[in-house]
Amino acid sequence: METTIDQDISKVKALKRMKRNALALLGVAVLLFIIAIYFKIPMLQAFSEAAMVGGIADWFAVVALFRHPLGIPIWHTAIIPTKKNEIGENLGNFVSEEFLNREKLEIKLDEFNFANKASDWLSQTENANKIADAVAVNIIPGILRTIKDEDVKRFIQVQFAAKMEGINFGNWVAVALEPLQKGDLKNQMLTNLLEVMSSELTNNKDLIRQKVKASTPFLSFGLADKSITEGVFNGLQDFLDEAKKPESAVRLKIDEYIFDFLEKVKNSEEMRVKINDMILGFVGKKEVQDYINGIWDEIKLSITNDLSKGDESSIKNSISNLIQTFGNGIQEDQVMINKINNFIKNDLLSILLNNKKVIGDLISSTVKSWDGKEVSEKLELEIGKDLQYIRINGTLVGGIIGLIIYGVEQVYHYFIV
């Protein structure tokens, strides 16, 4: 694809080539004039004289648009650079009055089905990928660079604390524990817990022995360790075995304690406040706060790592799929298409008409801000090539008119005089 610089170079070459052609044709006219004078050929002299006049006159007219011919500041030359402000003002008024006209705009907006064209463009994979690339490569990384990590972490902490304080954990715990008051579930959970405790007691018998040994008098020489350990172990094991029996006194006592605790959680506001305070106190611990702060770092790192995968990025592919789905969805929804088109027509029309003077003034002020010489050079680069045809046509047409005048003159002298 040609760059702007390459295009400008091509235009400069084309302009110079057309200028040379026009100048060469004028040179041919001068040469014909010399030949006509030398060999006394009246018809050729009439043609070449008129051709030179036409070519030079049109050269003057074309050059006068952009600069002073031969650098001489002749009146009404270098029209574009010297009349730049008036041209800009007239252009602004012309656009605002002729183009920003309600009737003309309504016709164009009715003809242009914006929603259909936009949805068709968005539904194409290539276009959706272009947008997704722009978002993934420029927008998201730009946002991540702009956002201050401290501000995000502070925001997360404040929001997390506000949400936690707004939760009545006492009620939640009461609702969660309410099923435990129904016998089967409570008994099963308690039995399972006692089984686990019994198993752990057996697995940690050596640990119990070590603890007992560390606590017995040194002068006993370890003689009491074994009997004490066995006594502690057997006593705990008997207690757990007794507690496993549904009708045992131990089990009934445990059931009574659990029932009282659940009743307090369910009915005591003081207990609920304590539960709330306990949970909120846990949330306020440094370890929890550090974990919350790390959430943003993890999110940011995950996003950055994903975007670095290029075409394999799940974020980019998700954006692309979302865009395509959106485009396909609009195409299949005529109601939405009509709404979008009506919105574009009514709102855009209103914006353009209400700001037509502003748009005209913007065009005018923009042209006025341009450098006159630079504007002249740019315009010549764009239209100068075509204007050289005026010089070429002027030379040829001038010569033909010279021949016609010469012919009329000869007829007049032959038939009338």
Confidence tier at 357 by pLDDT (50, 70, 90)? confident
Element (H, E) at 171: helix 169-177
- R_g over Cα of the chain: 48
Residue-number span of the structural domain to which 236 is assigned:
114-332
DSSP type of residue 371 = -
Whether residue 237 has pLDDT greater than 70: yes
- Residue range 319-337: average pLDDT? 87
In a domain, 364, yes or no: no
Predicted confidence at residue 21, as pLDDT, reads 94
In a domain, 348, yes or no: no
- Give the whole-angstrom CA distance, residue 417 versus residue 412: 7
What's the pLDDT tens digit per position in 11-32? 889 999 999 999 999 999 999 9
189 and 323 inside one domain:
yes
In a domain, 386, yes or no: yes
Nearest to 26 by CA among 62, 54, 67: 54
197 and 278 inside one domain:
yes
Which residue would you say has higher pLDDT here, 241 or 70? 70
Predicted confidence at residue 176, as pLDDT, reads 66
Whether residue 219 has pLDDT greater than 70: no
Helices (H), 112-148: 114-122, 125-134, 140-146
For the chain, what is the domain count? 2
Among 305, 332, 359, identify where a domain stops: 332
Is 308 within 8 Å of 300 (Cβ atoms)?
no
Predicted confidence at residue 1, as pLDDT, reads 47
Among 332, 362, 389, identify where a domain stops: 332
In a domain, 109, yes or no: no
Predicted confidence at residue 342, as pLDDT, reads 83
190 and 65 inside one domain:
no
78 and 126 inside one domain:
no
293 and 145 inside one domain:
yes
In a domain, 240, yes or no: yes
In a domain, 90, yes or no: no
Single-letter residue type at 270: E
